[in-house]
Amino acid sequence: MTSSNTRLDDFDPAKFHDELVRHKLIIPVGVPGAFGRNHVFEDVLARFDDAVTRVARDDGAEKMLFPPILNRKVLQDSEFLDSFPQLAGTVFSFFGTEAHHLELQSCLHEDKPWAHLQGMTDVVLIPAACYPVYPSFTGVVPADGRLVDMQNWVFRHEPSPEPTRMQAFRVREFVRVGTPDMVVTWRDMWLQRGVDLLRALELPAQADVATDPFFGRGGRMLAKGQKDQKLKFEVLIPVISREKPTAVCSFNYHQDHFGKIFGIKLPSGEVAHTACLGFGLERVVMALFKTHGFVPSQWPKTVREQLWP
């Protein structure tokens, strides 16, 4: 028995969500922006991740793995909360006495607020895939800089029923440290690689200058500066909208921001510059389902040859 390969020809976030659920690719858990993934979804995700590995094979990156939590001090020091207070997730836990525990239980069972019975821990959820790595660079980097390869779970507090806007998702991320020239050349090389890789999967990918969702009125100025200096690029694919395509890959040049904060130096004594790039793995998978249909065994042969080499 073969299931037919439904393909949505129009762009409709609700319909796309419902089709992902109907094909059991995602499993709702009762909170917008959070869901399970089935084995088919995970297989495609792992295969795309492997395709990225093949592109990066000869780069000599150091592989690292971090847990989905970050030292709260690193979040504070890196100024994430100055720019994006609305997106961060701080972990709270119970520090009380037995009396507090009794109070907690009665609140829980009577469905009353219980946040006042919890206190802030030393950890936050990872707000961007590369944040755990910068403190590990403190000191003098080698003359040819550093290059790190990671896959991390990221938390963003932006609950939405729209399936490509998730509260938790995985990013395949590379981080480069070095002179301004080294990191910009590397970023530009990956911008081309990213577009080439996605187009080889017959996805209508386009690169564009982008801005981060900085908070508030002051944030608009930061976004303008970021755009004018071309510090952020994204690769976009129409998934839930033709007019507002979805960013599946983002490239950020931080200049000396992290170098200054975490004391990362070049052998010359100057502050090192950093850049990162990340593939939003779930979003790439969703772009594949949107473009080629919900049944991967029936995707075009050329696409399958890339992912099932």
**Binding positions for Zn ion, rule: CB under 5 A:** 130, 276
Give residue 5's identity as a one-letter amino acid code.
Answer: N
In terms of CB distance, is 5 or 255 closer to Zn ion?
A: 255
Phi first, then psi, for residue 199 (nearest 5°) are -70, -30
In terms of CB distance, is 23 or 146 closer to Zn ion?
A: 146
Q: Are 178 and 145 in contact (CB under 8 A)?
A: yes
**Distance of alpha carbon 160 from its chain centroid, rounded?**
16
In terms of CB distance, is 126 or 240 closer to Zn ion?
A: 126
Cα 189 from Cα 217, distance rounded (Å): 34
| Closest distance of CB 42 from Zn ion, Å | 23
| Closest distance of CB 130 from Zn ion, Å | 3
In terms of CB distance, is 26 or 74 closer to Zn ion?
A: 74
Phi first, then psi, for residue 90 (nearest 5°) are -100, 135
Phi first, then psi, for residue 236 (nearest 5°) are -120, 145
In terms of CB distance, is 126 or 141 closer to Zn ion?
A: 126
| Closest distance of CB 183 from Zn ion, Å | 12
| Closest distance of CB 291 from Zn ion, Å | 26
| Closest distance of CB 126 from Zn ion, Å | 10
Alpha helices in the chain (DSSP H): 13-22, 39-56, 72-77, 80-83, 98-109, 180-200, 216-228, 257-261, 281-292, 301-307
